[in-house]
Amino acid sequence: MTLLRIPLNQSSMQNPLRQLSAPPRVVKSSCGKSKLISECITVAVEEEARVPSLRTGNGKSKEVIGWESKVLVGTYARAPLVLESGRGCKLYDVDGKEYLDMSSGIAVNSLGHGDPDWLLTVMKQASKLTHVSNVYYSIPQIELAECLVARSFADRVFFCNSGTEANEAAIKFSRKFQRHSHPDEKHPATEFISFINSFHGRTMGALALTSKEHYRIPFEPVMPGVTFVEYGNIEATRKAITRGKTAAVFVEPLQGEGGIHSATMEFLQFLRGACDEAGALLVFDEVQCGLGRTGHLWAHEAYSTFPDIMTLAKPLAGGLPIGAVLVTEKVASAISPGDHGSTFAGSPLVCHAALAVMEKISNPGFLASVAKKGSYFKQKLNQKISGNPHVKEVRGSGLILGIELDVSASPLVEACRNKGLLILTAGKGDVVRLVPPLIISEQELDQAVDILSDALAVLEEGTSSKKFWFPAAVV
């Protein structure tokens, strides 16, 4: 282990933190002398010698993939790509190849890789205080909650560490709300409505709300009492929501993993009314579609309707693990100390990182640029690829777009990767999911469209029946 002391205002090209330059300050020492100082950060760097075999010759990726297969539980069908560094919208693998990142770590890296303000915030906070647990108070957690409350429908926030945990908390809060609101009821409402093609996470409660059977069946019994209804089907949903039985309705305003399906205005507004009528809570899962991705800070802003609970995660802390549950006072008032909690949640480090993200993403100019780039991207995709006979539809909003194909998208994903473009699949594996960093430039979007358009030829080569190596199950 080597300790490096890095002056943040060092402008040398050798300094990877040179973009973080802070002006030198003049301070007085205890003996009264003035002295010019730079802000420094001490970083511990692991010696590269730890993995010497990976530093020699070509084919490092292959070696790492073999290594991984010996020591990790096989839960992921990973793409055969070993990434080592990133800047902006570019990623670099261990063999030195550059990729344009249209996956953002599955809609996480909204500010791209190595955003200088985010990095400076994280390094400063890490050098000051990283974790204290929720036994104590810490200021960044309260500041982040205040920031989220000020910019949303919500009155209060609960922090956790991931999207599935946020939904798990929303499940518990919904049940507790029903119990609290009906104290004389022997059996208050405990059931949930969720929708076909939904994805809410992989822990037992969130998994129970997730529609794809492939994820659920091997782990049954999951939480009972979930009814799945066709997304957008108002009549079927009306029949399913039952007073005294339905505790809450969980819905993504735009389904991400399920194939990039946007709710209609009529559907979300209907859900609001139906929940109110039945005494059920309305939960918007904006883990993937929230926080600027659609060009609105919250995807539901486009629908002139509000939930009782909203769950967030992925991009909130710029790549550090976080989840958040935003609730109205009505919901919060049902929750008592001890009802829920987490050791790691809301740490000073993660919350300070999230504040840096929020400051950029919630800026109206930033959001307007996402909407503008999203329209530009969709238009270019429609111009250049929608004529291909395998392309059924280009859909989505802002910078969360899907291209539905009439065949598996896997060969296209692979061909794009070989040409230096990283994209994802969604739906039944027949949808290309495009979720670039929100900072992407129009020039980079053009580059992505060109690569995609060239790579489409692979669908003509009879390779579309090739084994999936990058299935929808990567979320």
Query: Site residues for ligand PLP, window 170-209 (CB under 6 A)?
Result: 199-201
Q: Are 439 and 111 in contact (CB under 8 A)?
A: yes
Find tokens 């985010």 and name the residue.
Answer: 118
Q: Quick one: which segment of 10-18, 172-180, 181-189, 251-259 binds ligand PLP (CB under 6 A)?
A: 251-259
Instruction: Write out the two tokens for 34.
Output: 């003035």
Q: Which of 287, 403, 416, 458 binds ligand PLP (CB under 6 A)?
A: 287
Least distance (Å) from ligand PLP to the CB of residue 210? 8
Q: Quick one: which segment of 70-78, 250-258, 274-282, 448-456 binds ligand PLP (CB under 6 A)?
A: 250-258
Q: Which of 115, 191, 285, 444 binds ligand PLP (CB under 6 A)?
A: 285
475 binding ligand PLP? (CB under 6 A) = yes
199 vs 270, beta carbon nearer ligand PLP: 199
Long-range contacts of 440-448 (CB under 8 A, 24+ apart): 440/89, 440/112, 440/373, 440/399, 441/89, 442/373, 442/376, 444/89, 444/100, 445/373, 445/376, 445/377, 445/380, 446/380, 447/100, 447/421, 448/100, 448/102, 448/377, 448/421, 448/423
324's CB contacts (< 8 A; 6+ apart) are 148, 157, 158, 159, 160, 166, 311, 312, 313, 316
Instruction: Write out the two tokens for 329.
Output: 């006072």
Least distance (Å) from ligand PLP to the CB of residue 166? 7
Least distance (Å) from ligand PLP to the CB of residue 190? 21
Q: Quick one: which segment of 95-103, 163-171, 242-250, 362-370 binds ligand PLP (CB under 6 A)?
A: 163-171
Least distance (Å) from ligand PLP to the CB of residue 199? 5
Q: Are 432 and 256 in contact (CB under 8 A)?
A: no
Residues in the chain: 475
- C-alpha 147: how far from chain center: 19
By rule CB under 6 A, what count of residues binds ligand PLP?
16
Instruction: Write out the two tokens for 270.
Output: 């209907």
140 vs 201, beta carbon nearer ligand PLP: 201
Find tokens 């929808």 and name the residue.
Answer: 472
72 vs 457, beta carbon nearer ligand PLP: 72
Q: Quick one: which segment of 28-36, 58-66, 143-151, 252-260 binds ligand PLP (CB under 6 A)?
A: 252-260
Give the neighbor-by-neighbor strand order of the sheet with 90-93: 83-87, 90-93, 98-101, 421-422
Q: Quick one: which segment of 26-34, 79-87, 157-165, 235-243 binds ligand PLP (CB under 6 A)?
A: 157-165
Query: Site residues for ligand PLP, window 291-350 (CB under 6 A)?
Result: 313
- One-letter amino acid identity for 235? E
Query: Site residues for ligand PLP, window 101-130 (CB under 6 A)?
Result: 106
Burial of 444 (0-12, 13-18, 19+ CB in 10 A): buried
Can you state the angle between helices 348-361 and 116-128, rounded to 10 degrees? 160
40 vs 106, beta carbon nearer ligand PLP: 106
Least distance (Å) from ligand PLP to the CB of residue 251? 10
- What secondary structure does DSSP assign to 166-189, as a single string? HHHHHHHHHHHHHHHH-TT-SS--
- CB atoms closer than 10 angstroms to residue 45: 9
Q: Which of 164, 347, 369, 464 binds ligand PLP (CB under 6 A)?
A: 164
162 vs 305, beta carbon nearer ligand PLP: 162
Q: Quick one: which segment of 9-17, 126-134, 162-170, 214-222 binds ligand PLP (CB under 6 A)?
A: 162-170
Least distance (Å) from ligand PLP to the CB of residue 347? 16
Least distance (Å) from ligand PLP to the CB of residue 74? 18
Least distance (Å) from ligand PLP to the CB of residue 198? 8
Q: Quick one: which segment of 95-103, 156-164, 173-181, 265-273 binds ligand PLP (CB under 6 A)?
A: 156-164
Q: Which of 115, 168, 252, 308 binds ligand PLP (CB under 6 A)?
A: 252
Q: Which of 88, 256, 346, 396 binds ligand PLP (CB under 6 A)?
A: 256
Q: Which of 178, 194, 288, 347 binds ligand PLP (CB under 6 A)?
A: 288
**3-state DSSP call for residue 131?**
coil
Least distance (Å) from ligand PLP to the CB of residue 294? 13
- C-alpha 238: how far from chain center: 30
**Max CA distance (Å), the chain:** 79
- One-letter amino acid identity for 272? R
Phi then psi for residue 128, to 5 deg, are -100, -55
Name the DSSP letter for residue 441: -
Residue nearest to ligand PLP (CB): 163
Least distance (Å) from ligand PLP to the CB of residue 257? 5
Binding site for ligand PLP (CB under 6 A): 106, 162-164, 167, 199-201, 252, 256-257, 285, 287-288, 313, 475
